[in-house]
Every structure is written in structure tokens, then in C-alpha cells.
């Protein structure tokens, strides 16, 4: 179900951080807007950090160890401005890309989250199931990409080891040196394949 509100969305990448901002005017008073916004953020996994005056989710450890997009270190800053029976809401979502490959599907997922936040504040309802399905599908594709890149890497590495071993032995490279060389080569191949597969599999049609 599409949201009937149309927030203004801005997307910008600065270094290793993705910034997604949304601005919209809700036909409710400030107290109602704030209550609904807090309810929505809690339902999608954010917790309020009173010291930083913002909402946070995930961690840098999640960036490195999890294939769940909601595990990425993220923060939301909010600003509500009352205006004659309505409330203007500004949301600024910052997502750390440390250790991550940014894809179209990820950007669209975070954008969809802010659109549903706008809908919830304006109408008191949002399609949270649709957001969950979107993230679950992304996680499945990431797991498949990781498994496929590993399988291809193993096959390529085995072939290279068979081909390169006689040459390395002839060059006088020790056994430990050959193991180190194969490990570095294998890691590089797996990383490149993972990057390519993720970019291709999570590229959303435009």
C-alpha cells in the first residue's frame, strides 16, 4: 500500500555515512506528531539516546558481522515545528557504511522507512510488514551473494594453487610463504566477488 503523504526526501553520501532526510507537514498538533513519531521509531528498532538527543539503532559491530540492514549503525535526529494546527517534521537519518557496500536497494529501503514514518505521523498507520519483508528479502540476497562468492572463490583458488604451486616452488617460496600468498589472494578474490555480486543482485530497477 502506498503512502498518501509525500515527504520531501534528500539523499546524500558523505564519506562513509549515508544521509537520508525527509521533511513533511502533518495535519496534527505537535504532541500527537511527537507521540506517533516516537512510536514508529521504536517499532522499527530505534531507541532514544537522551545524552545525544537522538534515536539510535545498530552498531559498528553489526556493520561487520551481520547481514541484517537494521543492524547497521544508524541514528535519527528529529525536529518538530508547530504551525497553525499542523506540525512540520524534519527527520535526518544517518547510516554508517563502515565495512559495507552501498547498493540501490539499501538506499531505497532507508528511504521507504522515512516515507512510512511520515505516513504514520500523518495518518496513524504504516505498512510495517512491507518494510520487514523488504529487509528480509535484502538479507536473503546478501546471504546468497556471500555463499556464491565463497563457492566461486574456493573453486578459483584451488585452480590457482594447482597452477601457481610449481612456479612458487621453483622461485624458492617456502611452504608458509605459499600459504600466506594463497590466503591473501583468496581473500582478495572473495572480497571482489562479494562486492560485484552485491552491487548486481541488490541493484533495484529504475
Residues 6+ apart with CB under 8 A from 180: none
| Per-residue pLDDT at 205 | 42
- Higher-confidence residue: 13 or 157? 13
151-155 average pLDDT score:
78
DSSP 59: B
| Per-residue pLDDT at 148 | 78
Predicted structure pTM score: 0.75
Mean pLDDT, rounded, of the chain: 85
For residue 170, give its domain range.
133-201
Boundary (domain end) residue, out of 88, 108, 126: 126
| Per-residue pLDDT at 2 | 40
User: What interhelical angle do 30-43 and 104-123 show, nearest 10?
Assistant: 140
Boundary (domain end) residue, out of 93, 126, 159: 126
Give the count of domains, the chain. Answer: 2
Q: With H, G, I as helix, E, B as strand and everything else as coil, classify residue 172.
A: coil
Tens-place pLDDT, residues 10-43:
999 999 999 999 999 999 999 999 999 999 999 9
Task: Report the percent of the chain where pLDDT is more than 90.
Answer: 45
H or E stretch at 60: helix 60-65
Query: How many CB atoms neighbour CB 186 within 10 A?
Result: 18
Tens-place pLDDT, residues 78-109:
999 998 889 999 999 999 999 887 778 888 88
3: pLDDT strictly greater than 50: no
Are residues 88 and 158 part of one domain? no
Tens-place pLDDT, residues 35-69:
999 999 999 999 999 888 899 999 999 888 877 78
Boundary (domain end) residue, out of 64, 91, 126: 126
Amino acid at each position: 500500500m502506498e503512502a498518501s503523504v509525500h515527504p520531501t526526501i534528500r539523499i546524500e553520501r558523505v564519506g562513509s555515512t549515508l544521509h537520508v532526510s525527509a521533511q513533511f507537514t502533518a495535519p496534527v498538533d505537535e504532541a500527537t506528531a511527537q507521540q506517533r513519531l516516537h512510536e514508529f521509531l521504536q517499532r522499527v528498532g530505534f531507541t532514544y539516546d537522551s545524552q545525544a538527543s537522538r534515536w539510535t539503532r545498530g552498531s559498528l559491530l553489526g556493520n561487520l558481522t551481520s547481514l541484517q540492514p537494521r543492524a547497521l549503525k544508524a541514528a535519527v535526529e528529529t525536529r518538530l515545528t508547530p504551525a497553525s494546527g499542523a506540525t512540520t517534521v524534519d527527520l535526518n537519518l544517518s547510516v554508517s557504511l563502515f565495512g559495507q557496500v552501498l547498493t540501490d536497494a539499501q538506499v531505497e529501503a532507508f528511504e521507504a522507512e522515512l516515507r512510512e514514518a511520515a505516513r504514520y505521523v500523518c495518518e496513524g498507520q504504516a505498512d510495517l510488514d512491507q518494510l520487514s519483508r523488504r529487509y528480509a528479502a535484502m538479507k536473503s540476497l546478501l546471504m546468497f551473494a556471500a555463499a556464491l562468492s565463497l563457492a566461486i572463490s574456493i573453486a578459483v583458488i584451488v585452480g590457482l594453487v594447482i597452477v601457481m604451486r610449481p612456479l612458487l616452488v621453483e622461485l624458492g617460496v617456502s611452504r608458509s610463504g605459499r600459504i600466506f600468498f594463497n590466503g591473501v589472494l583468496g581473500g582478495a578474490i572473495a572480497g571482489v566477488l562479494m562486492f560485484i555480486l552485491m552491487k548486481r543482485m541488490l541493484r533495484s530497477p529504475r
